[in-house]
């Protein structure tokens, strides 16, 4: 069974940084693209970033480029999202997902940006 | 960027009804289209990929069709657990984008 467990969310002040993690199991980790998708409270889904199987290719939504960095550790079967200069409108549940078609999703981790 | 437009944004239906949700892409995306179900307070769940291929374990009451720019998700014989929000998403190119969602409510 595919299992994705996100962690690292919490309350952070504007301008702060966070590193989100996604621990994966139940599938051949190093053969799949991975993605981060976020959902602001009461809003729809927004794709954030994707990374290819060996981590050599990263893609980001333009509006977040420069503040968000996606990475992966295939040995640890983990996906990461580093976020800098957090803004109030970054408040959202952040999900990790397998494949660009979103075949499997984690339960999400809530990031709240507030002073 | 490719824009994905879903319609309707919400609908009311009764248990046992069949409902159809449409998703239109602003340019051709071949069949690189996925559908997701999201129940309140839960993570999205994959239903369909490649426009019409059912994800493993998803009941056959769900079906998808279309290619190019126009796509549909059909749900047969609505049951209480099907009342949720449904999203389409293209993965033809970056940036990936989602439709705005369709909330299916009980009439």
pLDDT at A62: 94
Q: Per the CB < 8 Å rule, is A105 touching B97? A: no
pLDDT at A46: 98
Nearest by CB to B94, which of A59, A101, A102? A59
Segment B1-50, tens digit of pLDDT? 999 999 999 999 999 999 999 999 999 999 999 999 999 999 999 999 99
Q: Which residues contact B80 (CB under 8 A, 6 or more apart)?
A: B15, B106
Would strands A34-39 and A45-51 be described as parallel, antiparallel, or unpaired? antiparallel
Nearest by CB to A102, which of B1, B36, B94? B36
pLDDT at A65: 84
Inform me whether the pLDDT recorded for B70 exceeds 90: yes
Tell me if chain B has a CB within 8 Å of the CB of A102.
yes
* Alpha-carbon gap, residue A55 to A42, rounded angstroms: 32
Peptide bond into B95 cis (omega under 30): yes
Q: Which two tokens stand for residue A69?
A: 């960095």
* Alpha-carbon gap, residue B2 to B57, rounded angstroms: 30
- Ranges in chain A, pLDDT < 50: none
Mean pLDDT of chain B: 97
Tell me if chain B has a CB within 8 Å of the CB of A27.
no
Q: Which two tokens stand for residue A46?
A: 């927004």
């Amino acid at each position: 069974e595919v299992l994705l467990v996100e962690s690292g969310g919490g309350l952070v002040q504007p301008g702060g940084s966070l590193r989100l993690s996604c621990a994966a199991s139940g599938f051949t980790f190093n053969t799949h693209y991975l993605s981060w998708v976020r959902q602001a409270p009461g809003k729809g889904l927004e794709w954030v970033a994707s990374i290819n199987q060996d981590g050599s290719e990263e893609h980001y939504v333009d509006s977040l480029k420069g503040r968000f960095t996606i990475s992966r550790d295939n040995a640890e079967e983990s996906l990461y999202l580093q976020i800098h200069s957090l803004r109030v409108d970054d408040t959202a549940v952040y999900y990790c997902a397998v494949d660009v078609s979103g075949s499997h999703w984690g339960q999400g981790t809530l990031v709240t940006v507030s002073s | 960027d490719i824009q994905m437009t879903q319609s309707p944004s919400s609908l009311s239906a009764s248990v046992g009804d069949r409902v159809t949700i449409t998703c239109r892409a602003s340019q051709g995306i071949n069949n690189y289209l996925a559908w997701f179900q999201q129940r309140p307070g839960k993570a999205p769940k994959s239903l369909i990929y490649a426009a019409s291929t059912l994800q493993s374990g998803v009941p056959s009451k769900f079906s998808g069709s279309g290619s190019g720019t126009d796509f549909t998700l059909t749900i047969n014989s609505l049951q209480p657990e099907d009342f949720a929000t449904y999203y389409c998403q293209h993965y033809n190119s970056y940036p990936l984008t989602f439709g705005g969602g369709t909330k299916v409510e009980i009439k």
